Amino acid sequence: MRDRAPSVGAARMAFPLVCAATFVAVSAWGEPPQGPGRWVQKAPLPVSRTEISVAELDGKVYVFGGYVHGSVTSNLNQVYDPATDTWRDLRIMPMGLNHVGVIGHQGKIYHFGGFIRQNREPVANAFAYDPRADKWEEIAPLPSKRGAAAIVALDGKLHVIGGAIGGDHGVGFEGRLSVTLHEVYDPATNAWSPRAPLPERRDHLGLVVDDGKIHAIAGRRENFFTNTARHDVYDPKTDTWSLRAPLPTPRSGFVAALLDGYIVVIGGEGDRGVYDENEAYHPKTDRWYTLARMLTPRHGTGAAVVGGMLYLPGGAVVRGGEGRSAAHEAFTLR
């Protein structure tokens, strides 16, 4: 079910560079937000790029790889400090990639898979980056080559879910085939193990952990003309999936994150181009709400939450692999 925040009218609103709507505190049971939240401009990404990978670690925002001018396999590694609103360069990635799955976990940032061509030809390579030492190390590779997967940490392990593998003899879209794969990496043993697969194959999906469960939201089957609104939840105690309320706006290539108890899904692309939708789901009520639309509609980016603020750097302002952007905007419900 989808509700519109009371202060947002039925007609689309034009939001200024900083939206002034107020967020009213919610009760312990997560009553619907009374405002759409607000966006704030931040220091732009130093290099315009899209199909990047974004991770948060120790209060900083890291951006890796992606498409840059003249190449779809950037090895850039840049970090943003919200405290100073500044960027700096770090040691480059071991290999240039796009659509890498990344996550910050226990002092390191883990990298899984990715593509070595534009949105195709996946790899199984995996790495761990230590920001304190500014050093990379190779770890056990993915059991299968894939890119555009989603990653979450749960109970000390890293779940890599969905994504796209190499199509066999032209199967799939431009040599890609979306998958239901669900594999778990244990940093303590540097080993992989399988889990119950996604009920429906997809890549470019969103993955968020809330209350010990994994929410797998929307995504696509091979291309953005076959986006889905499906919303599945994984329970690690039973190794099973169940359905929840679908995303109101089917899309892929968006960002998803847990923000003040709500799962927010922002941007993306689909059959009508690049989306500026910002929708929030409350796990306890199984309801969706409409929040403030993006200032700069984008896909092919990522998000990191620091101190109640969701940072969204880079991405593309047109559908597909063009329109690289340096835009960097932050969203908050507070």
Residue 272 per-residue DSSP state: T
The pTM score is 0.90
Give the pLDDT confidence score for residue 174 in this predicted structure: 64
Domain map of the chain by residue range? 2-11+18-332
pLDDT tens digits, one per residue of 159-191: 999 999 986 544 555 668 999 999 999 999 999
Do the beta carbons of residue 178 and residue 222 sit within 8 Å?
Answer: yes
Three-class SS of residue 326? Answer: coil
Inform me whether the pLDDT recorded for 18 exceeds 60: no
pLDDT tens digits, one per residue of 249-304: 999 999 999 999 999 999 999 999 999 999 999 999 999 999 999 999 999 999 99
Looking at domain 2-11+18-332, which of 2.60.40.2130, 3.40.50.970, 2.40.50.140, 2.120.10.80 is its CATH number? 2.120.10.80
Contacts of 98 (CB under 8 A, 6+ apart): 51, 52, 65, 66, 67, 72, 73, 74, 114, 115, 118, 119, 147
pLDDT tens digits, one per residue of 108-160: 999 999 999 998 899 999 999 999 999 999 999 999 999 999 999 999 999 99
Give the pLDDT confidence score for residue 191 in this predicted structure: 98
Do the beta carbons of residue 317 and residue 275 sit within 8 Å?
Answer: no
Inform me whether the pLDDT recorded for 9 exceeds 60: no
Mean pLDDT of 215-227: 95
Residue 286 per-residue DSSP state: T
Do the beta carbons of residue 36 and residue 5 sit within 8 Å?
Answer: yes
Read off the pLDDT band of 22 (50, 70, 90): very low
What percent of the chain clears pLDDT 90, i.e. is strictly above it? 85
Do the beta carbons of residue 324 and residue 68 sit within 8 Å?
Answer: yes
Q: Closest Cα to residue 2, out of 243, 211, 244?
A: 244
Beta strands 176-178 and 126-130 are unpaired
Inform me whether the pLDDT recorded for 79 exceeds 60: yes
Residue 68 per-residue DSSP state: B
Q: Closest Cα to residue 216, out of 172, 266, 160?
A: 160
Give the pLDDT confidence score for residue 26 in this predicted structure: 32
Inform me whether the pLDDT recorded for 56 exceeds 90: yes
